[in-house]
Chain A
């Protein structure tokens, strides 16, 4: 569905010396620094996948997604959507994509939401029958029809994002790009948005590509993660594979009846406070049951729990490297 080949984007950044003298110098002699926002990315995404792009601020996620959506012209490399190069055939290719960028809206601020939909209906030449059918589906998932007559300027952020999502889906695109869609949303709006993404993926087989900083989005939505940092791909795979590769350990928390805690040969005690001790062990070396059995021979155990390495650990490790 989507193929990205050797994608790179460089920016020229004006370097400025501090102070007034620096500003004057900058007038005469301009120093440019080349910033490599995205470096040689290649990957492909199949139909119906939900892929999450994650990475710290400034990692190149937005730049990548904007090149994939035809907004930015790549310095090098190409993006193919449905086999066609988006830079060369923008107008044809964008018929297959929908875009929602969290902080931006394509809705007409002054008019009722329905007018923005009407304009898109004309822009994408959507047949009345299909238009109504799509709106019915959207109404089932998001309850959009009760918002249609409300002026966009009077909407809450959550309602506006719903409006933008429907606007992006009106022409039933094969690919939906979402750049930080849940940013600033409350819990129930986030829930509605995630449900929406899952539903359209199921019903319409829409391929969804999103960037996010929200761990909930990743856990609930993304079967596949692409981690980007400094414009380079760090990881690409499904969530549990990445967890296994980056953080192949679990943490066992044991509570004893007193403060003395025994050590264990096949794991490392990483914390010991009061009656509680934490042991870190490698998943492929041993199991929690084994350690608990060994430890209980030496001391009486009151309680145990197991902590899995979560997405936040993954992100911390991936971003740190």
Chain B
């Protein structure tokens, strides 16, 4: 117990240093800040403008009104931003595998996966966070939600779970490179799929699709199921106030599976010849 606590402190201490260095790196190249600050929020604000247009033209999407869609969109973008901050390195894992860049992590006394993500922590992801929070607050206001402590806990739990699901999926896909010995830049594709399945209610897709998104690639749990339950929009496979906690559970399961798959891959790691 005491040992575990000491280890946690060690990891927190290193994380603090990594975040400090990430900020220093951003400051080192100030010109790129401006570009990101403009292009990233714009991308999501535009996306939301499209939803607004669609809803205003058709009234609602599959029983979801404008405010509820804004809430869903906000949650989706916030969890996307969090996964960008902590787990975006997963997109490039294949390159680390084939160029032997895991060597340095393996020779240091910390978890390899931890070092891989946190020494490369992507503070720029904050630029995605801002539009997400704006749209989310806007959605809360439109739905006239009462902000209670329970509600806040549910939202936070849901976001943690959603971020873990996204991160776990990046790790699972990235770890295939240990076995295939090739690097695939899958970031674009996954983001495309994730966006289309987490920003809108998945109940608008065919049932077979919904089955896949619920049980096989559990992205339905990132935003659709918990938000639907929280706002009481639709009757789905699971209803009730505990659904955000199910999201967290799904997130943990995906993460544990991803971690195990990564570890088994790391045993096959071949580094790169000198």
Contacts and interface: CB of A to CB of B under 8 A. Distances in A.
A104 B270 contact: no
A301 interface: no
B196 interface: no
A51 interface: no
Contacts of A62: 273-274
Interface residues of A, number: 35
A123 B110 contact: yes
Interface stretch (B14-22, B60-68, B218-226): B14-22
A72 B21 contact: no
A234 B225 CA distance: 64
B104 to A, nearest CB: 4
Interface stretch (A95-103, A261-269, A282-290, A310-318): A95-103
A90 interface: yes
Given A122-B13, A122-B14, A99 B107 contact: yes
Interface stretch (A19-27, A105-113, A191-199, A239-247): A105-113
Interface stretch (B23-31, B232-240, B248-256): B23-31
Nearest to B26: A110
Contacts of A273: none
A73 B267 contact: yes
Contact of B110 (A91, A101, A111, A180): A91
Nearest to B25: A110
Interface in B1-51: 10, 13-14, 16-18, 21, 24-25, 28-29
B268 to A, nearest CB: 8
Contact of A111 (B16, B24, B269): B24
B270 A70 contact: no
B100 interface: yes
Contacts of B111: 91
Contact of B21 (A94, A102, A111, A125): A111
Interface string A44-62: 0000000000000010001
A69 B103 CA distance: 9
Contacts, number: 80
A119 B106 contact: no
A123 B11 CA distance: 8
Nearest to B112: A90
A71 B271 contact: yes
A180 B274 contact: yes
B110 A104 contact: no
Interface string B93-113: 000000011111011111100
Nearest to B10: A125
A122 B103 contact: no
A104 B106 CA distance: 14
B179 to A, nearest CB: 11
B110 A72 contact: no
A119 B121 CA distance: 13
Nearest to A97: B107
Contact of A71 (B107, B109, B110): B107
B119 interface: yes
A179 B271 CA distance: 13
A103 B21 CA distance: 24
A303 interface: no
A43 interface: no
Contacts of B110: 91, 123
B161 to A, nearest CB: 28
A94 B106 CA distance: 8
Contacts of B14: 119, 122-123
B271 A66 contact: yes
A106 B105 CA distance: 9
Given A71-B103, A123-B14, A108 B21 contact: yes
B274 A179 contact: yes
Contacts of A257: none
Interface in A69-102: 69-73, 90-92, 94-95, 97-99, 101-102
Closest 4 CB pairs of A and B: A106-B104, A122-B17, A99-B107, A62-B274
